[in-house]
């Protein structure tokens, strides 16, 4: 059986932190990070506002991301092996003879704003935090291309508001998480919720 979990959320909500804990705890669990699909800086459009437009879906190679997820769907055991994920004995077999449960976590800030991905998830989470907290956490981060002054208020936050509205219109099965809770609380909440869903689907 295969199960795909979306860990979405705004920038600095705590998606990667949560994901890294979940993949250690869940059996036969692979991960796809949306951040790995950012295009190169010279391929990122510069807007009329003068900022490189990082926080839009066209900044990402979404076709490549979809193909990576398809690769997992076609043969999760092979995908796990090639990504160094240890498998339980009953998940070792590839193809239809496999009896084990395989889990994929897809993690990123624009998971629910790309039509071809909307039907892929079996369970969807979205972490959010208030503006001030987001701005503060972001100011401590260094991306492969550091944020120029004014990017947060000029581009990151307005794009978040736009995408959030679109997402709320597209999806109605998202479980919203309060990113202001402690890392442990968020992890325990999501781990329990996944366990419940998996038990109910057996
Ligand atoms: N629940 C939390 N409470 C306080 N700080 C957190 C929490 N979760 C993550 N952080 C911190 O916020 C920053 C961004 O976390 P990260 O997991 O990289 O977010 P994202 O992947 O959503 O951008 C990091 O410094 C991380 O330690
Ligand atoms: N990974 C990169 O190459 C890169 C470059 C510039 C900005 N970013 C930022 O990454 C953010 C998304 O990642 P997080 O959700 O982990 O913060 C976006 O808000 C974007 O502005 C990433
Ligand atoms: Mg991250």
Q: Is this complex scored with an ipTM above 0.95?
A: yes
One DSSP character per residue, 36-57 reads GGBPPGGGSPB-TTSSB--SSG
Is 35 labeled as catalytic in the residue annotation?
yes
Quick check: CB of 11 below 6 Å from ligand 2?
yes
d(CA 5, CA 198): 11
DSSP alpha helix (H) spans, the chain: 15-25, 62-74, 76-82, 115-118, 131-139, 151, 157-170, 183-201
- Give the ligand with the smallest distance to the CA of 33: 3
- What are the 10-residue block averages of pLDDT along the chain, 202 residues in total? 97 98 97 98 96 98 98 97 92 73 97 96 97 98 96 98 94 93 98 94 78
pLDDT for res 48: 95
| Centroid of chain to Cα 192 | 19
Sheet containing 174-178: order of strands: 29-33, 102-108, 2-9, 123-128, 174-178
Q: How many A from CA of 100 to the centre of ligand 1? A: 32
pLDDT for res 92: 82
In Å, how far are 8, 29, 76, 147 from 20, measured between CA atoms?
Answer: 14, 11, 19, 24
pLDDT for res 200: 87
> 32 - beta bridge partners?
106
């Amino acid at each position: 059986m295969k199960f795909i979990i979306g860990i979405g959320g705004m920038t600095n909500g705590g998606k990667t932190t949560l994901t890294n804990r979940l993949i250690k705890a869940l059996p036969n669990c692979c991960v796809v990070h949306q951040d790995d699909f950012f295009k190169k800086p010279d391929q990122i459009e510069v807007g009329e506002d003068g900022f490189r437009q990082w926080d839009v879906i066209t900044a990402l190679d979404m076709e490549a991301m979809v193909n990576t997820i398809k690769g997992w769907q076609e043969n999760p055991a092979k995908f796990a092996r090639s990504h160094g994920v240890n498998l339980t004995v009953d998940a070792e077999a590839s193809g239809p003879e496999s009896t084990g449960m395989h889990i994929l976590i897809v993690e990123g800030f624009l998971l629910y704003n790309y039509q071809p991905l909307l039907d892929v998830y079996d369970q969807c989470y979205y972490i959010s935090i208030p503006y001030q907290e987001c701005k503060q956490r972001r100011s401590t981060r260094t991306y492969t291309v550091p944020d120029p002054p004014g990017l947060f208020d000029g581009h990151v936050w307005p794009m978040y508001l736009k995408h959030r509205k679109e997402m709320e219109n597209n999806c109605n099965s998202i479980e919203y998480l309060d990113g202001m809770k402690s890392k442990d609380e968020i992890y325990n909440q999501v781990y329990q919720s996944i366990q419940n869903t998996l038990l109910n689907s057996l």
